[in-house]
Amino acid sequence: MKKEEQNRISIHRKMEKEEEERIWIHMDLVIEILSRMPVKSLLKLKCLSKEFSRIIHSRNFVDSCLACSSNRSRLLFYFHFYEDNTLVFFSAPHRLTCSILPTRHDMTFRGVVGTSLRSPPVRGLIFCTFGPNQHVLCNPATKHNISLPQNQMLRKKGLVELLIFGYDPIFDQFKVLCISVYKIVKQPDQYQFWVLTVGKDGNIWRKIQGMPPHLVPAMRKHLCGQTGICINGVLYFKACSKNQSYTHPGNTTHVVSFDLNSEEFSLIKTNSHLTWFSKLIDFQGKLAFLSRVKDCTIEFCLLENKEWSSKVFHLPWAQKYSRLEQISDSVLGICDGEIIFVPPKEFGFTWHLSLEKKTTRKVDFHDFQIPSNRNHLVVFFSNYADTTVSL
């Protein structure tokens, strides 16, 4: 009995010693360490315990990852092969080097029709449209995707949709704004406004009050996020007056905002340099766009404190393209103080224009094999981040 008691005491003292020698790491430091790891490694770690899984998929952890986006911010592009309707994602890091190596995301959708990415990536999620009233949210980094419910109130005949995907940081909700219009010959266009809160409200589309009645939204064919953009919980998109044609040289183009929290529309102060073909971009949490092109110069317009300011820059290749539309379509976005361009029909490299130094540099895609099949579409986005956001 005495021997058993001694053994228990010995084991207890050993456990106390191990407890004293154990190094406890504060949870904030754990999150900081994990946030610097690639998503592929994080997905393996979450299998260790429920606690790890909870941390990796939490909002605080995703926010921490996005806060150090300079370490993981990437270009995102995809190939849409028309012959077999295949969609393949690639991404490449933003680096201050002359070459980068894109990484293929083994996430392929087959048998889809009319695929397009309607909005820029939001917190690592991509909003895809496969046809009228058929939408999917996917995360290329985790290879997860979900189909969004169809709006049963929309009929397909004559339907045109403007869809913008965004995130409400106040209530931690992803939302989709849908502006539908029925274009029927010899009849006035009929506009309807809908909102879907992903995974909430029974996952159904809700009809909401529309935008100012004297305006009509830009229903232009999607080109690399031309439909609109989400910045700090607010969606921005273009519109013009009902009695004007967007092709008319005297037409005034407006910017309309939609607050994802209050679900209300507002009109942004007009900028005379904004055109129907200008692409709205996010500059460090502020709305911006590129304007006039003359020879090799462009104008960068930025909205600060509800007022517009502008800067003029030189682009070495801008003279090749006579129209603003061609330049605007090639804009990917802004990362680390650089505007990133992909010259039209010249896939294989990007131009980076420094807003501070007013210099340009060319970045080649190193050892990247461009598909030989020419029957494809390539679409780019900037400021994509690999995240563990769960759907």
Q: Report the percentage of the chain scoring pLDDT > 70.
A: 65
Question: In the structure encoding, which two tokens stand for residue 179, read together?
Answer: 């502006």
Section 292-304 average pLDDT: 78
Instruction: For residue 235, list its beta bridge partners.
Output: 230, 258
pLDDT-derived band at 267 (thresholds 50, 70, 90) equals: very high
In this predicted structure, what is the pLDDT of residue 210? 86
- Report how far apart the first and last C-alpha atoms of the chain are (Å, whole number): 58
Comparing 140 with 201, the larger pLDDT belongs to 140
Q: Taking all residues of the chain, what is their mean pLDDT, rounded to a whole number?
A: 75
Section 331-355 average pLDDT: 75
| C-alpha to C-alpha distance for 299 and 327, rounded to whole angstroms | 11
In this predicted structure, what is the pLDDT of residue 13? 64
pLDDT-derived band at 3 (thresholds 50, 70, 90) equals: low
In this predicted structure, what is the pLDDT of residue 226? 65
Q: Is the pLDDT of residue 258 over 90?
A: yes
Q: Report the percentage of the chain scoring pLDDT > 90.
A: 13
pLDDT-derived band at 266 (thresholds 50, 70, 90) equals: very high
Q: Which of 9-13, 58-62, 161-165, 291-295 has the lowest mean pLDDT?
A: 9-13
Instruction: For residue 257, list its beta bridge partners.
Output: 236, 266
Q: What is the pTM of this model?
A: 0.82
Question: In the structure encoding, which two tokens stand for residue 289, read together?
Answer: 């766009």
- Describe the strand order of the beta sheet including 307-314 as a list of residue ranges: 280-283, 286-294, 297-304, 307-314
Give pLDDT tens digits for 60-110.
888 877 876 545 577 777 776 666 666 677 777 766 556 566 666 656 665
In this predicted structure, what is the pLDDT of residue 256? 93
pLDDT-derived band at 222 (thresholds 50, 70, 90) equals: very low
Q: Is the pLDDT of residue 118 over 50?
A: yes
Kindly report each contact of residues 211-216 with a partner whose C-beta sits within 8 Å and lies 24 or more positions away, as own/partner. Answer: 211/179, 211/239, 211/256, 211/258, 211/265, 212/256, 212/265, 212/267, 213/242, 214/241, 214/242, 215/239, 215/240, 215/241, 215/242, 215/254, 215/256, 215/267, 216/189, 216/191, 216/240, 216/241, 216/242
Give pLDDT tens digits for 224-255.
456 789 999 999 998 887 665 555 545 688 89
User: Among all chains, which residue has been given the structure tokens 């404190």?
Assistant: 305
| C-alpha to C-alpha distance for 1 and 202, rounded to whole angstroms | 65
Ranked by mean pLDDT, the top range of 218-222, 295-299, 349-353, 379-383 is: 349-353
In this predicted structure, what is the pLDDT of residue 86? 65
Element (H, E) at 56: helix 50-56
Q: Is the pLDDT of residue 355 over 80?
A: no
Comparing 113 with 279, the larger pLDDT belongs to 279
Give pLDDT tens digits for 356-367.
777 778 787 766
Q: Is the pLDDT of residue 353 over 50?
A: yes
